[in-house]
Amino acid sequence: MHSPHKVATGAKRLINAARYSLEGFAAAARHEAAFRQELLLAAILLPLGLWLGKSGVERALLAGSVLLVLVVELLNSAVEAAIDRISVEHHALAKRAKDLGSAAKIYHCGDDAFLSAVALWKTPLTDCGDGSQDCTDYSTWTSKWLEVRGG
């Protein structure tokens, strides 16, 4: 099925997509209190994660988990806006859609706490590579990871 709204191609399509993304980001900041709160926290936690991370992997996990909170919030807000556009009447399917979006957000927030706990440990290596003993054995790290994850 072809959409009559998708007529741009090439560079024009990329420019439009970037503009629509910025408009969506601005709408979330303007209309979604939860997104504004999470954006403020991200402004604090991103630099903190980059500073606390001891390796590139740790920094990527910390930064990625913070950014994923924002992505999930944007998706949840999109679902809620689409449902409200269809009807503001109470309907079981509308409630289910909103509840599922909320569940994705809560699940990820719990996962973010897990990632923070794991990422702040020393990176699992069998050899530190610099002659120091300031690294964590992989088997020890794995057993600790399973304890935290509950597996």
For residue 148, give every residue at least 6 positions away whose Cβ sits within 8 Å of its Cβ, in sequence order, or none. 114, 117, 118
Residue among 32, 38, 58, 73 flagged as catalytic: 73
Separation of alpha carbons 62 and 53, rounded Å = 7
Q: Does the annotation mark 32 as catalytic?
A: no
For the purposes of burial, counting CB atoms within 10 Å of the CB of 45, is it exposed (0-12), middle (13-18) or buried (19 or more)?
A: buried
Catalytic residues: 73
